[in-house]
């Protein structure tokens, strides 16, 4: 099955990004949609099997399997042995990982790792890493600010977690990032830092190198791995300071948007899984001589879950399109980078998707627990795994309130623009 699924997943689509300039990538294009549907079907199948395999609590997905399936290098260009597709396909995998509540270092290695590398200026080191990534070696983690801070009015640069002092062989790195996805398992770290000129750059580092400490942070959501990365005057290896294409701030902002979108996709998948499980349970569980799903209290509760999942899916789709369009533009723009308006469009769409979907997923998982009755409260039912996963996703890369605060500033600015 793995060989088969791999084949399906990495088949280059008829129209990759850039093939239809001016269209919304991910929108309405028949060939793209077909590809994603196949990818989704394969992923769902594979994850259901993989997550069920060891019967453990954490539903760990085999690392080699992810590489074989071709999911690690989805966005890596053809020329670097990747599938050369867009973030829309990555989003499908994120959603399916959420649906299975699967444990896999996909967020660190692919969503953020590949995402960061793809946004950088081409260098041998960066290309080498991208090429390796598609085959599953090494695992990556990207140390970004993962809380609310970068969404504040001050914007990204003030909250970049690391600082570079000196340059060349004398360069030293200091800073700290918490709740970094997949940090503890990563073999290579990419650290978002400000260089001496205040420009965001990415610094490659290796766990265990002098001055650098990586610590796992155990969390209630055992299906995820997060950790803290701390550097205290850590020497930086030659050729390990990489620059974004174009404006580093824009690159950093898009990278944060990727993280937020990825957890929104995860929450969408998780919420859909909880809705499906609840509908299934309510159809078979009988009390008072009838299936509980025939009672309006349960039926209408499920209806509400469907409504919010439908709305969330729309928002996640829009955000994915916006990010895919901006990423294509970023890739196509070369050194010129990307326009501010495009970055804002991504941030608006992502803030909507993240704030709505990640809050909705907690509500849906909670409702699922309620409508499952006592069974839903058992460890065995697994509902708690989704509730905890949704809770982590809600907090990671900006709380709903922080994203809404950013949206509100935009609404105010837009209104001021209209009034002028």
Partner 1 sequence: MSVPRGDLAELRATVRGWCRAHVPADWRRAQTGVGGDEFVAFQQAWFQELRRAGYAVPHWPAEWGGGMSAAEQMVLYQELAAADAPRLVLAFVSIHHAAATLLTAGTDEQRRRHLPGILDGEIWVQGFSEPEAGSDLASLRTTARRDRRAGGDVFVVNGQKLWASGAAHADWCLLLARSDPAAPKRRGISYLLMDMRSPGLDVRPIRNALGDSHFCEIFLNDVEIPAENLVGPENAGWQVAQATLSAERGMTMLELAERLGNVGLRSLVDTCRRPDVTGRRPIDDTLVADRLAGFDTEIAGLRALCRDLVERHDAGTVGPADASVVKVYYSELLQRMTGFGAEIAGLGALAELAKPASSGWESGRWLLDFIGSWEWTIPGGTNEIQRTIIGERGLGLPREP
Query: Where on the chain is the footprint of a copy of itself (CB under 8 A)?
Result: 295-297, 300
Ramachandran area for residue 21 (φ above 0: left; ψ -120 to 50: alpha; else beta): beta
Q: Would you give the binding string for partner 1 spanning residues 153-192, x where CB under 8 A is met? A: -------------------------xx-------------
* Token pair for 331: 């890739």
Nearer to partner 1, 74 or 349 (CB): 349
Nearer to a copy of itself, 354 or 367 (CB): 367
Nearer to partner 1, 92 or 319 (CB): 319
Among 310, 335, 341, 420, binds partner 1 (CB under 8 A): 310
Bridge partners of 141, per DSSP, are 189
- What's the burial of 181, exposed, middle or buried (CB within 10 Å: 0-12/13-18/19+)? buried
Alpha-helix runs per DSSP H in 26-121:
30-53, 63-69, 87-99, 106, 115-118
CB of 130 to partner 1, least distance (A): 29
Nearer to a copy of itself, 297 or 416 (CB): 297
Nearer to partner 1, 170 or 297 (CB): 297
Rounded to whole angstroms, the Cα distance separating 113 from 186 reads 10
Size of the site for partner 1 (CB under 8 A): 83
Q: How far is the CA of 268 from the CAs of 97, 217, 288, 328, in angstroms?
A: 10, 25, 33, 24
Rounded to whole angstroms, the Cα distance separating 371 from 378 reads 13
**What length is written for the chain?**
420
Does position 297 interact with partner 1 (CB under 8 A)? The reply is yes
CB of 291 to partner 1, least distance (A): 5
Instruction: Tell which positions 382-401 bind partner 1, by CB under 8 A.
Output: 383-384, 387-388, 391-392, 394-396, 399-401
| Cβ atoms 221, 179 nearer than 8 A | no
Alpha-helix runs per DSSP H in 196-295:
248-284
Q: Which of partner 1, a copy of itself, none sits in contact with 157, Cβ below 5 to 8 A by type?
A: none
Among 10, 111, 298, 324, binds partner 1 (CB under 8 A): 298
Does position 290 interact with partner 1 (CB under 8 A)? The reply is yes
Among 125, 166, 291, 333, binds partner 1 (CB under 8 A): 291
Rounded to whole angstroms, the Cα distance separating 225 from 66 reads 17
User: Which DSSP category does 136 fall into?
Assistant: T
Does position 149 interact with partner 1 (CB under 8 A)? The reply is yes
Nearer to partner 1, 89 or 221 (CB): 221
Instruction: Tell which positions 226-245 bind partner 1, by CB under 8 A.
Output: none
């Amino acid at each position: 099955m793995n060989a088969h699924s791999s084949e399906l997943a990495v088949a280059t689509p008829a129209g990759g990004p850039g093939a239809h300039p001016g269209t919304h990538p991910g929108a309405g294009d028949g060939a793209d949609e077909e590809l994603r549907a196949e990818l989704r079907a394969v992923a769902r199948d594979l994850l259901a099997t993989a997550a069920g395999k060891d019967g453990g609590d954490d539903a760990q997905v085999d690392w080699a399997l992810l590489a074989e399936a071709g999911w690690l290098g989805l966005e890596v260009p053809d020329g670097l042995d990747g599938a050369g597709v867009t973030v829309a396909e990555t989003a499908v995998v994120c959603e399916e990982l959420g649906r299975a509540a699967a444990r896999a270092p996909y967020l660190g290695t692919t969503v953020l790792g590949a995402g960061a590398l793809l946004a950088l200026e081409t260098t041998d080191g960066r290309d080498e890493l991208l090429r390796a990534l598609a085959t599953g070696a090494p695992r990556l983690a990207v140390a970004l600010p993962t809380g609310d801070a970068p969404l504040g009015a001050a914007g990204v640069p003030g909250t970049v977690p690391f600082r570079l002092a000196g340059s060349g062989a004398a360069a030293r790195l200091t800073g700290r990032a918490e709740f970094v996805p997949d940090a503890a398992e990563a073999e290579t770290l990419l650290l978002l830092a400000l260089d001496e000129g205040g420009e965001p750059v990415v610094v490659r580092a290796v766990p265990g190198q002098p001055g650098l400490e990586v610590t796992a942070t155990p969390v209630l959501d055992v299906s995820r791995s997060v950790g803290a990365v701390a550097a205290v005057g850590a020497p930086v290896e030659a050729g390990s300071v990489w620059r974004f294409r174009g404006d580093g701030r824009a690159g950093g902002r898009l990278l944060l948007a990727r993280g937020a979108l990825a957890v929104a996709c995860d929450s969408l998948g998780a919420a859909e899984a909880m809705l499906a499980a609840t509908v299934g349970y309510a159809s078979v569980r009988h009390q008072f001589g009838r299936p509980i799903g025939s009672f309006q209290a349960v039926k209408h509760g499920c209806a509400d879950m469907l409504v919010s999942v439908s709305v969330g899916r729309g928002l996640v789709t829009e955000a994915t399109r916006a990010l895919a369009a901006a990423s294509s533009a970023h890739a196509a723009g070369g050194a010129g980078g990307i326009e501010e308006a495009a970055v804002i469009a991504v941030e608006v769409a992502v803030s909507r998707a993240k704030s709505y979907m990640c809050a909705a997923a907690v509500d849906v998982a909670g409702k699922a627990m309620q409508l499952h009755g006592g069974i839903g409260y058992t460890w065995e039912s697994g509902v708690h795994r989704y509730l905890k996963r949704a809770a982590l996703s809600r907090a990671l890369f900006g709380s709903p309130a922080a994203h809404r605060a950013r949206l509100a500033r935009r609404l105010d600015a837009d209104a001021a623009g209209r009034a002028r």
